[in-house]
Structure 1
Amino acid sequence: MNRKENIKQISYTDKVWDIAVIGGGSSGLGVALDAVSRGLSVALFEKSDFAKGTSSRSTKLVHGGVRYLAQGDVFLVLEALKERGRLLKNAPHLAHNQSFVIPIYTFFDRLKYTVGLKLYDWMAGKLSLGKSTFISKEKTIQRLPTIKQEGLKGGVVYHDGQFDDARLALNVAQTCDEKGAA
């Protein structure tokens, strides 16, 4: 990935490019990778560093769509779980398992989160990162020492993914370069 060489290649050639992608953030890099992988010639333009803007300021989460489960969007959850699985399989050096604790203060919260997250675990199937479990008040306090303790009944632990967004973007840019994008 040599910026000067790529600029020279784009500037001093009569080549007609199939596609020009403006912006080297996650969306632009995704478009460029898809196009170059399909055999199109790609010129990728980025005024600064790859993933310097919004793409490096994500939540860093690779979630399976657990929040969409509450909205009843089962198909979106299934698709998100598949994509999370693909990323964890294709870039294990950039993504890993991250556990979360949801504090429980009422019986209804315990029922809602336990049932909802067990459904999430079941939907994840072989792509699961770990089974959700109920933990005691004491274990919840150990994991979340600054939690409001009054009325706390325990917690529910569930698993999703976390990744290095900027490094993933750089890896995608390198792949684009290796496949011939300029």
Structure 2
Amino acid sequence: MERASQIKKLSDKGKIWDMVVVGGGATGLGVAVDAATRGMSVACLEKTDFAKCTSSRSTKLVHGGVRYLQKGDVMLVLEALRERGRMKANAPHLVKDQAFVISNYRYWDNFLYFCGLTFYDLLSFGFGYGRSKYISAKKVMKYIPTSVEKGLKGGVVYHDGQFDDSRMAINLAQTCVENGGTVVNEATVTGILHNEAGKVAGVKFVDNTTGEEYTVKARSVVNAAGCFVDDIMHMDSPEHRKMVTPSQGVHIVLDMKFLQSDYAIMVPKTSDGRVLFAVPWHDKVVVGTTDIVRPTPEEEPRPLKEEIDFILGTAGLYMNPAPTYKDILSVFAGQRPLAAPKKEGKNTKEISRSHK
């Protein structure tokens, strides 16, 4: 999949493409694969590199949205579990089973989370990885030797999926090209073309490596720019109302000594009502994530001190020894696009994850 040959395909000024997709993250590449496998001529343009932003900065999990089950959003959980099953079937080289332990310090929580996760298993309808089960405090210590033992009343084991997010994106790009699609990175869309009737008819983009500008005519343009969706919308309509609110998620990476297990930790309720994961990843432990509204989207978001403090503080309630700043090996931050609320001031966990 040589970039030069992909760019050459886009230099044909007489060609009218069926679709141009703006954005080479998980969504844009997924749309491009869908179009290419249906026989459409499709070009996918990414301004930096594939999976550069949101799509490489996840918790590396394919989960059905356990936290949304707490909120009673069963349809969203059902949809996510179906997607998890399809990813497992379509990309078995990238998606695998990951067992989690929820450590409980109240007897009631053992019952509560076991019932909730059994319902989660039932919603999987054959797409599941394994059944949830109650385990004793002794077993919790065996599965996660670094658990805080004082006051431990038992735990629940459940299963979800783990995957390599950026490799999945690259595989989607390869699949698109194998099916006749065209994908180009380092291609910044600079304008939207319109026909005589004022309808969208393609895009202009600049090849960042040469500075050369190209015009690509198309019957349809899909805006899959993630957090930067509004930038593309404003090229089409300057008075366009804001559609997306960026929400920042931060993860810290720790040494394996803080987990010492193939099992992951799931904290079902943090001080801000979210969930926190500590997941084994390439002989290290990824711990996160946060959820903070940011005023504007950034290509290189920086973790805030309050986010790192929150992760360390919450992890310290469940890990012994408690991790400190000097134990952090690296930090990565990403921003996810959420549908902007009509009223300002909404907390990110109250903003809808559904389609709008």
TM-score by length of 2: 0.49
Q: 5+ residue gaps in structure 2?
A: 183-356
User: Is 1:61 aligned to 2:75, yes or no?
Assistant: no
Q: Distance in 2 between matches of 1:118 and 1:12?
A: 56
Q: Which residue of 2 aligns with 1:76?
A: 76
Q: Distance in 2 between matches of 1:112 and 1:175?
A: 43
Q: 1:21-42 deviations in whole A, cap 9, x for unaligned?
A: 1221111111211222232211
- RMSD over equivalenced CA pairs, Å: 1.4
Q: Distance in 2 between matches of 1:69 and 1:2?
A: 44
Alignment of 1:1-182 (within 5 A): 1-182=1-182
Q: Distance in 2 between matches of 1:99 and 1:136?
A: 16
Q: Distance in 2 between matches of 1:28 and 1:124?
A: 27
Q: Distance in 2 between matches of 1:72 and 1:26?
A: 27
Q: Distance in 2 between matches of 1:121 and 1:46?
A: 37
Q: 5+ residue gaps in structure 1?
A: none
Q: Distance in 2 between matches of 1:13 and 1:72?
A: 52
Task: Check the 8 A contact 2:107/2:154 in 1, yes or no.
Answer: no
Q: Distance in 2 between matches of 1:47 and 1:69?
A: 36
Q: 1:9-28 deviations in whole A, cap 9, x for unaligned?
A: 11145211122112211111
SS of 2:155's partner is strand
Task: Check the 8 A contact 2:117/2:132 in 1, yes or no.
Answer: yes
Q: Which residue of 1 aligns with 2:251?
A: none
Q: Distance in 1 between matches of 2:11 and 2:86?
A: 37
Q: Distance in 1 between matches of 2:147 and 2:101?
A: 11
SS of 2:93's partner is coil
Q: Distance in 2 between matches of 1:75 and 1:44?
A: 31
Greater RCO (Cα-Cα under 8 Å, separation 6 or more): 1
One-letter amino acid of the counterpart of residue 62, structure 2: V
One-letter amino acid of the counterpart of residue 9, structure 2: Q
Q: Distance in 2 between matches of 1:82 and 1:119?
A: 15
TM-score by length of 1: 0.94
Q: Give % identity.
A: 58
One-letter amino acid of the counterpart of residue 8, structure 2: K
- Say which structure is richer in helix: 1
After TM superposition, the structure 1 stretch with the greater mean CA deviation from structure 2, 106-115 or 39-48, is 39-48
After TM superposition, the structure 1 stretch with the greater mean CA deviation from structure 2, 126-135 or 6-15, is 6-15
